[in-house]
Structure formats: C-alpha cells, structure tokens
Chain A
Amino acid sequence: MTEMMPKERIQRFFNREPVDVMPCFSGMGMVTVQAIEQMGIRFAEVHTSAEYMAHSAITTAELFGFDAVVIPYDMCTVPEALGRGVSLYHDSEEILYPTVPSKWATLDEVEIPTDYLGKGRMPVVDEALGIAKSKGDGRFAVGGWVLGPFTMAGQLIELDVLLKGTRRQKEKVENFLSQMTDLVIQVARHYQNLGVDYMNIREMGSGTDIISPRVWKMFIQENLQKIFSALKSPKILHICGSTDMIIEMMNECGADALSVDQKNNVAETRKKLGHEVLLLGNFNPYETLVQMDASEVEQVIKTCIDAGVDAVWPGCDIWPDAKKENVETYVQTVRGYGKRPSPAVGRV
C-alpha cells in the first residue's frame, strides 16, 4: 500500500472512506514560532502580509508534518472589513493576535456595508489562500474557517449588549443574528470558491459556559442549519467550552463533522451520537503543547483517540509558542496510535 498524500487523506477522511492513517490537522490556527523564526520575521508581521501568512502556514506544516495549512489566522479580518478597525500590536514583543478596537455600542447602530469583501485585510487573506493553494497543493490540504454568526456578532457589538439582548431585546438580536448568518454564508462561500478543501465554522462563543441550551436552540441552531445547508462539503462545526449539554443539537445542524474542546466528554458524546458521526477533538492546546513536559503529551493524544475521536484536533488555535518536542510528540502519536480505525473512518 502506498502512503496517501495529505490532501487525499483528508478528502477521504471527510467522505468517511478508509484512510491509511489518522490525519493530523486542525480547522483552527496552526502556525508556530518555529516557522516564524525560521522565516526570520516577527509574529506581528504575518497579519498584514499574504506572503508571510501563507509561508508561515506552509513552513509549520512542513516542519511538523501536518496534513493541512489553515488560513486565516485571526478573528478580526471580517470585523475590520466591516469598518470596526483592528489593533495589530505591531510594537508588542508579546505574541498577540489582532483584536477589534471599536465595536458597535448598540444594536441600532449596526450597519453592514455591501462591499466589505474587498476591504481591510480581506484581500490579504484571499491572496494568502491562493499562495497556499499553489505552493502547497497536494502536499497539504488547505483549510479555511469563518466565525459562526453568534461569535461574529460578539466581535462586532459589545458582548454584554448581545448577551443581555437574548433576554431583553429578542427580536433585535434575532434580526442581527440573521444578518450575521447571511454574512457568514457569504464569506465562507467566498473561501470555498477560492478553493479551500474544508470549511470550519467556529461558533466558539456559544458554549454553555456562556449561554443556556434553551438560548442556544432559540438563537443559534436555526442559523447554523441555514449556514450548513448553504455550504459545500466538507464543512465542520466547532464549538469550544462546555458542549455536553448541546452536542445533540450541534449534530442536527448539518455539518459533516463536529469539533469540540477538552471540556466535552467525548466518550459520552460518542455514545449519544453513535459511530457514524465524525468527531474531532479534544485536547487543550495550551496545556498540552506549551505547559506539559513532552513525555506527557503521548498519553493526552492517546486519551483523545481512546475516547472516540476520528481525528485529534486541538480545542482551539495552537498557541504559536508551543514547544517543538511537544508538537512532534503530538504528530508522532497521532500517526502511530492512529493506525487503527476510528469509529467513523476505517483504514485501508
């Protein structure tokens, strides 16, 4: 049997066709300082340069043997294009991701421009995807992601206004989330048209540490269903934080795979959802790749696989300052321990 190319491995994985070994990839940021240092640049510089963004993603995948590169890196490209500005922390010595400096203060102020796809750093991301496709095609799958409507809303409006609004301004919040849903569909389709091999919708602000299952059903589920029915496969729904209470509702949204973080009880989730569902997760990337001793990483990854994930995904972006040995152990363990079939995906 010949070894599969990464892109093929991931394509087959999402089709639930047998693969040679468990793919090692994510639907969230995977760039590491090792790649940044090898390129001789600073982290703050990758956010405004398509070349740097694409090359740091590819270099990371090459260094560690990941099956995919994931673009974009930060959660502010769309809010910035919608006129909310961006803080890039160019002068900071820390590794800081961009943030949104000026959110709308009330729901009444919200105004979505129509031409935002060409504004801010949106063209930078488009170009980076193009470079990643041409330079990495075949050797790596190219993953893309967009925030889910509730999380996107929280990037654009003060979060307390949005959260309190779920109880006190239901109609206005519903209308706003409906606008966000159309926006998410437009951006995700745009990236699919640019050729991403899989699309992850990160509705990360909607776990039950923040909102109740009742509010989730009322404000989140229908919008996600609309998004997943509008997108091509492969498409993933990722929610971090507490998801045990909403996992069945997540599974009704129409995604091809569900991604959860370390707060989810994956063994229980597997029992609830059965063996057909593609489950991705669920290690704590900061704890496992930054804090732990490399010798402890293997067990963390094996625990995820034993609990019943089909691919081991970090629960969030990989923190760029991850230890080299820890990331290497993560990849080696996925390849070694992931030789046997997972619940939803067989082996050739």
Chain B
Amino acid sequence: MGKEELRDELLKALSDAVVDMDEDKAGEAAQKVLDEGLNAYDAVMNGLAVGMEIVGDLYDKHEYFVPELLLCADALYAGLDILKPHIKPEDLGESAKGQVVIGTVQGDVHDIGKNIIKMMFEVGGFTVHDLGRDVPLEKFVEEQMRTDSEIVALSAMMTTTMMGMKKVVEMIKEKNPNVAIMLGGAPVTKDVSELFGADGYADSAGNAVQEAIKMISRLREMQK
C-alpha cells in the first residue's frame, strides 16, 4: 500500500471511529498513524475533526442526539490524546499561539455544550483555559487579561443565567475590543448574541461544533 493510500485509509478509520463512537478503534488508528510515521496534525484535522463534522450534521438531521454526541467526543479524545503530543508547532502555524478562555457562567452548572466547544478548540490546536462551570463573571475578564487570549467562549444553558453573559461581553470589549466572543447554550439566539455584542453563537451542542470550526477559520483568516 502506498503512503497516500495508507493516509486515506487511516484518516477514514479515524473519522469512522468518531462517528461510530468507538474509542478503541480511534486509539488504534491514531497509534497506527504514529507507527507509520504519518503527520499527526493531518490525522487530527482531516480524520478526527472530519468525523466530528459528520456527527454535527447527524445531530442536525435528528439522527444523533446528545448521548451520541458525547460518546463521539469520547472517541475523538481517545485519538487526540495519542496524536496531540506528536503535533509539530510548525504544522499549527499561527494557531499554535491561539488561546481561548472558556467557561459556564455563574448560576449555571450545565457544561456539556462548553465541553464540546472546548474539544473543538483543542482539535484546532488552541490552548484552552477552562474555567469550569458556575464561574463568577469577573473571572472571565481576569483570565482573558492574564492569558491575553484571542477568544472568550461563554456558555449558559438556562435563560436565567444568560443575562450574566451580557455583562461579561461588555467588560471584555471595554478592556480589549479585539477579543472575539462566542456565546453558547440553549437560550442563546442570533438576536441575543447580537444584542449582547458577541461575535458568534451556538444554541446547541451540535451547532457548537460547526460554530467553533467557523470561528477558528475566521481567526486564521484574520491572522494571515
């Protein structure tokens, strides 16, 4: 089997393993990528991430639901954990320096959507500063300033905690208008996102996958 053929086969195996929620297969395919001396970053972006994009589509089509999304994410991590230490900084280019602060706002302890977004940023090669859940609003501002992160991603699952996000957006934009802010969670709509002055939004864990990919590529464009 030629190198190109082997690459295609392993990329497909990684993608399929994510879609099939198969952690073992994802781990095996990732290890084979390393054993065969193939590019780890290529395997993440064109194998694992492609699988997660398919998963996002399946979620939109009501073929997959949140339990499936979570199991697909486990499979993705099984591959990512093996491949990540072998990604070369030159492969990542500018995004190697990319940093994101992420967390669920105070009053909200739901973190599934936040964890999916976190995963997609990790896949994209970003350094993720995860503040966890039920995070006091000022903490987002402090962490963004401490790390000089380009992105702050806020999640709120409940309407009752969504208002906190508006304050964080204001506080961050006031200090650093160039920070891209992404809002996520069931109550977040396009209108809410615009009203709060955010740069992107996702109302479901499935859409979060797509939105994170879009935001990462937008930032890469800006960095060129």
A residues lining the B interface (CB < 8 Å) = 87, 89, 92, 94-97, 99-101, 103, 159-160, 163-164, 166-168, 208-212, 215, 241, 245, 285-287, 291, 316-317, 319, 321
Additional pairs, 8, CB under 8 Å, beyond known A95-B160, A159-B110: A92-B106, A97-B107, A97-B158, A99-B134, A164-B71, A209-B66, A212-B67, A215-B67
Q: Is B186's CB within 8 Å of the partner chain A?
A: yes
Determine the main DSSP class of B at the interface with A.
helix
Contact between B65 and A208, CB atoms less than 8 A apart: yes
Contact with A along B147-159 (1 / 0, CB 8 A): 0000000000011
CB distance from B68 to the nearest CB of A (A): 7
Are the CB atoms of B112 and A317 closer together than 8 Å? Answer: no
Query: Counting chain A CB atoms within 10 Å of each CB, which of B106, B109, B163, B204 scores highest?
Result: B109
- CB of B41, distance to nearest CB on chain A (Å): 28
Among residues of A, the one whose C-beta sits closest to the C-beta of B64 is A212
CB of B73, distance to nearest CB on chain A (Å): 9
A160 proximity list for chain B (CB < 8 A):
70, 112, 115
A159 and B107 contact, Cβ closer than 8 Å, known pairs A87-B134, A168-B71, A208-B65: no
Interchain CA distance A161-B158 in the complex, whole Å: 20
B162 touches A94 (CB 8 A): no
A89 to B112, CA, bound (A): 22
Interface majority SS on A: helix, strand, loop or mixed? loop
**Contacting residues of chain B (165-184) with chain A, CB-CB under 8 angstroms:** none
- Tell me if B161 counts as interface (CB < 8 A to partner A): yes
* Contacting residues of chain B (52-69) with chain A, CB-CB under 8 angstroms: 62, 65-68
Residues of A within 8 A of B134 (CB): 87, 99, 101
Which 10 A-B residue pairs are closest in the complex by CB-CB distance?
A96-B107, A163-B67, A286-B159, A212-B65, A210-B66, A99-B109, A166-B67, A164-B70, A97-B160, A211-B65
Q: In the complex, what residue of chain B is closest to A211 when comparing beta carbons?
A: B65
Distance between Cα atoms of A92 and B189 in the complex (Å): 25
Q: How far does the alpha carbon of A95 sit from the alpha carbon of B160 in the complex, in Å? A: 8
